[in-house]
Amino acid sequence: MYKIIDLDIKGDERGSLIALEDNSNIPFKIKRVYYIFDTKKGVKRGLHAHRRLKQFLICVSGSCKILLDNGYRQENIYLNTPTKGILLDSLIWREMYDFSRDCVLVVLANEYYDKDDYINDYQSFLKEIKTNE
């Protein structure tokens, strides 16, 4: 359903740096990057699945939680480090919540923004899972 990827830290006496590269530590060609920040208290984001899109999420500052659901089981993951990324395949329902005030969630994607790739209704998501089997 997802994979946690440890990112290699290029650290020296000045501090730390992490590089993200296509087809190296990011296992797809990156076409789009966006980031979610300044999220208001109590807000839930996501609440959708993607039909084809693959994504890689890194919480580069602060923390948040993400609920992942593949139609059969659910998992909650706490994202609180810039040194780990979560690789999400298509057809995973996701809900992000409990954002800290300083949370910056960076998302890399293998396709451009396409609103037709979204499944915004949970029951429709479950139906699409079944038809994809």
65 is a contact residue toward ligand TYD (CB under 6 A): no
Closest residue to ligand TYD in the complex (CB): 45
Stretch of 6-14, 43-51, 77-85, 123-131 lying at the interface with ligand TYD (CB under 6 A): 43-51
Interatomic CA distance for residues 113 and 107, integer angstroms: 12
34 is a contact residue toward ligand TYD (CB under 6 A): yes
CB of 118 to ligand TYD, least distance (A): 7
Q: At 132, which amino acid appears?
A: N
**For the chain, give me the number of helices (H) and strands (E)?**
1, 10
Q: Which of 64, 93, 89, 88 is nearest to 77 (CA)?
A: 64
List residues near ligand TYD by CB under 6 A. 32, 34, 45-46, 48, 113
